């Protein structure tokens, strides 16, 4: 029987986004504050996932051996380093989170049966790499606050209460929603980026956060006049809004995760969304330059 096991590690390092072939102005236009000298630092958190058969001792791998491999090949070299100088590959491709994850895979692959590398730059930004050439995944976390009521207009209060419980109460209730947007794309061989992160954050803020934040979804968002704003339906709505914008940035919207509370969350696999620019997104395309 096959099983995935995971090993966590961490390292602290600094880096700078700067391309010598660009002017100072062009570097600051492309990388913003990340171009500042002498750079900036992060406490990175690394998760190494490995796939294998469970052996006669009940293990896929001896995790003590795994720990030593990760330390020898990765963390001892990167911890308390200036990443731009730590590995020669960073001279060609900048040490972005997605590119660091890609290179960690290649450092560990000769020794471990890898299935995924997940690298957190901070709790609201992380990258994943699965060994597919230059293809990687980048996740951005954000939040908004909104109220809603779960009720079908065609049903009585008693009928809605039977389906939705307390969530059907007439005056609604609110949540601090945490949202995770995952995109898929190719790591640029020079910048190390899937997309311009500043532009991606701008899209998310202008297309999703600003319109939804501090609203009563049923009354303030026309879509939810006819659609019950469950966490699932909100996530679908957000995916439909974001997909064409992410495509315009040169990436693919992979997944939306919406956390309604510490106990409830949902995830939408965006592969099923068709490639047409739907009307909901067209109405907001003008918001993003």
Catalytic residue, chosen from 167, 178, 266, 267, is 167
| 21 noted as active-site residue | no
What Å distances lie between residue 258 and 144, 146, 180, 216, CA to CA? 10, 13, 7, 17
Q: Give start and end residues of each alpha helix (H) in the chain.
A: 24-31, 63-70, 76-78, 83-86, 89-92, 97-108, 157-164, 197-204, 210-212, 217-220, 231-248, 279-282
Is 245 part of the annotated catalytic residue set?
A: no
- Give CA 3 to chain center in angstroms: 25
Catalytic position from the list 40, 214, 225, 276: 214
Token reading at 251: 């990436």
- Active-site residue flag, 214: yes
What is the rounded distance in angstroms from the CA atom of residue 130 to the CA atom of residue 75?
Answer: 19
- Residue 104 CA: distances (Å) to CA of 112, 118, 190: 12, 10, 17
Are 108 and 73 in contact by the 8 Å Cβ rule? The answer is: yes
Catalytic hit among 121, 180, 260, 270? 260
Give catalytic residue positions.
Answer: 167, 214, 260
């Amino acid at each position: 029987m096959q099983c995935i096991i995971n090993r966590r590690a961490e390292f602290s390092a600094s880096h700078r986004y700067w391309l010598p072939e660009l002017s100072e102005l062009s570097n600051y236009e492309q990388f913003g504050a990340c171009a500042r000298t002498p750079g900036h630092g992060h406490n990175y958190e690394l998760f190494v996932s490995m796939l294998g058969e469970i052996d006669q001792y009940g293990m896929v791998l001896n995790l003590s051996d795994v720990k030593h491999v990760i330390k020898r090949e990765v963390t001892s070299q990167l911890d308390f380093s200036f990443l731009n100088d730590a590995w020669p590959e960073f001279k060609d491709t900048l040490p972005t989170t997605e590119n660091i994850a890609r290179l960690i895979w290649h450092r560990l692959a000769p020794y471990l049966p890898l299935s995924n590398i997940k690298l957190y730059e901070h709790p609201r930004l992380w990258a994943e790499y699965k060994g597919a050439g230059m293809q990687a995944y980048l996740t951005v976390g954000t939040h908004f606050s909104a109220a809603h009521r779960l009720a079908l207009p065609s049903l009585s209060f008693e009928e809605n209460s039977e389906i939705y419980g307390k969530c059907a109460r007439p005056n609604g209730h609110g949540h601090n929603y945490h949202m995770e947007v995952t995109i898929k794309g190719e790591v640029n061989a020079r910048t190390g980026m899937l997309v311009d992160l500043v532009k991606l954050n701008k899209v998310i803020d202008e297309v999703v956060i600003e319109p939804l934040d501090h609203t009563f979804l049923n009354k303030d968002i026309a879509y939810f006049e006819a659609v019950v704003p469950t966490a699932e339906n909100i996530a679908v709505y957000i995916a439909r809004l974001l997909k064409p914008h992410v495509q315009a940035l040169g990436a693919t919207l992979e997944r939306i995760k919406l956390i309604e509370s510490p106990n409830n969350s949902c995830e939408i696999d965006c592969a099923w969304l068709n490639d047409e620019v739907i009307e909901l997104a067209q109405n907001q395309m003008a918001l993003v330059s």
